[in-house]
Amino acid sequence: MYVNMKYLLDNANRDGYAVMAVNSVNMEMARAVIEAAEELHSPIIVQFGVGQMSKLAHPSEMVPMIKAMAERASVPVCLNLDHGPSLEAVVEAIHWGFSNVMLDASSLPFEENVRRSRMVVDLAHAKGISVEAELGHVGQAADGDDNRDDLYTNVAQAREFVDRTGVDALAVAIGTAHGNYPKGYVPKLDFQRLAELKAELKMPLVLHGGSGSGEENIRKAVAGGINKINVCTDAFHAAEDAMKAKWEEAPGTDYLNIMMTAEAAIKKFVKDYIRLIGSNDRYIFEAADNGSKE
Ligand code: 13P
């Protein structure tokens, strides 16, 4: 089923789990992600951003394909515009048929972030599309932004932001960052702040920069009220590692088979992650209680 993100994350918020949002840049990735979710009876979010669109994933091809995969899936699937940088990008995503849009005005002053987010909520909600915004700023791991607590989300501001914009989900900055951390490094997350944000907002919260965060951090973040986790870098690495290993083992592996290897690796990675964040078995009838009279 093709659904908006509000539906999917309100359920996750009510039942205390998180849904994975995987940046998917071609057919193989999108299919691997959706099949992994189906096999584990899990809701799932497929997403990509404007940089990925311009390199590989043009929405004119990607959106109809992902919608078709979603419609025939037995689990809820959302397609999210990741980090929409402008009103134009958001309006285009609505036009293409995304079921959720994220506006990222997190680098702008608070009032401007409110103004833009409010505008996007007005437009998107009129079309039944839900909205994610970001307050505080999740920066780049390569720049050490995870340690910059001046970028972390302020609880009182978050309350005001949500009240004034009406966003459906809020991306919060609590100590993760996008991309690769230095080798062996695990970020330190501000769980106290997360607890305060959740107690105040009681709404779906989003963690960006899920890659390289470490299993324990991710488990604790979900327990603390995170309902959506964005993962890009680690999903790409899963494919790259599997392709390298395959070519080492069998150097003559052709294009068809290397793409199949990548797809299988992404699917396994997503399944493991789904189990970690507890969204598995959310859409399943128990075998012992299927209501059948036969
Ligand atoms: P990572 O690449 O660090 O997983 O971040 C992905 C992300 O947050 C996309 O919005």
228 lines ligand 1 (CB under 6 A): no
pLDDT at 142 over 70: yes
Give pLDDT, residue 286. 72
**What's 5-277's CATH class?**
alpha beta
Helix (H) or strand (E) holding 38: helix 27-39
Section 274-294 average pLDDT = 80
| Ligand 1 centroid, distance to 271 Cα (angstroms) | 18
Query: Please, which contacts does 283-290 make with residues 24 or more away whose CB atoms are closer than 8 Å?
Result: 283/41, 283/42, 283/43, 283/74, 283/75, 283/76, 284/41
Q: Say which amino acid occupies 268.
A: K
**Of 209 and 286, more confident:** 209
Give pLDDT, residue 292. 56
User: For a pocket test of ligand 1, which of 47, 180, 211 has the largest count of ligand atoms closer than 8 A to its C-beta?
Assistant: 211
pLDDT at 253 over 80: yes
The CA distance from 279 to 39, in Å, is 12
Nearest CA-CA partner of 125 in 94, 103, 96 = 94
Q: Say which amino acid occupies 79.
A: L
Nearest CA-CA partner of 205 in 151, 163, 153 = 153
User: For a pocket test of ligand 1, which of 23, 205, 240 has the largest count of ligand atoms closer than 8 A to its C-beta?
Assistant: 23
237 lines ligand 1 (CB under 6 A): no
pLDDT digits (tens, 9 = 90+) for 49-67: 999 999 999 999 999 999 9
Section 84-108 average pLDDT = 98
Is 289 annotated in the active site?
no
Structure tokens at 282: 């959310």
Give pLDDT, residue 291. 57
The CA distance from 147 to 144, in Å, is 6
Section 221-242 average pLDDT = 98
- Which residues pair with residue 167 across a beta bridge? none
- Cα angle value 99/23/168 (rounded, 5°): 40
Strands (E), the chain: 19-23, 44-48, 77-84, 100-103, 130-135, 169-172, 205-207, 226-231
Give the residue whose CA is nearest to atom 5 of ligand 1.
209
Are 164 and 201 contacting, i.e. CB atoms less than 8 angstroms apart? no
pLDDT at 289 over 90: no
- pLDDT > 90 in the chain, percent: 97
209 lines ligand 1 (CB under 6 A): yes
Are 130 and 169 contacting, i.e. CB atoms less than 8 angstroms apart? yes
83 lines ligand 1 (CB under 6 A): yes
139 lines ligand 1 (CB under 6 A): no
The CA distance from 47 to 58, in Å, is 12
What is the average pLDDT value for the chain, to the nearest integer?
96
Give pLDDT, residue 186. 97
pLDDT digits (tens, 9 = 90+) for 156-193: 999 999 999 999 999 999 999 999 999 999 999 999 99
Per annotation, catalytic residue among 10, 15, 82, 289? 82
Give pLDDT, residue 293. 57
The CA distance from 139 to 273, in Å, is 23
**What ranges do the domains of the chain cover?**
5-277
Nearest CA-CA partner of 34 in 42, 26, 96 = 42
| Ligand 1 centroid, distance to 142 Cα (angstroms) | 13
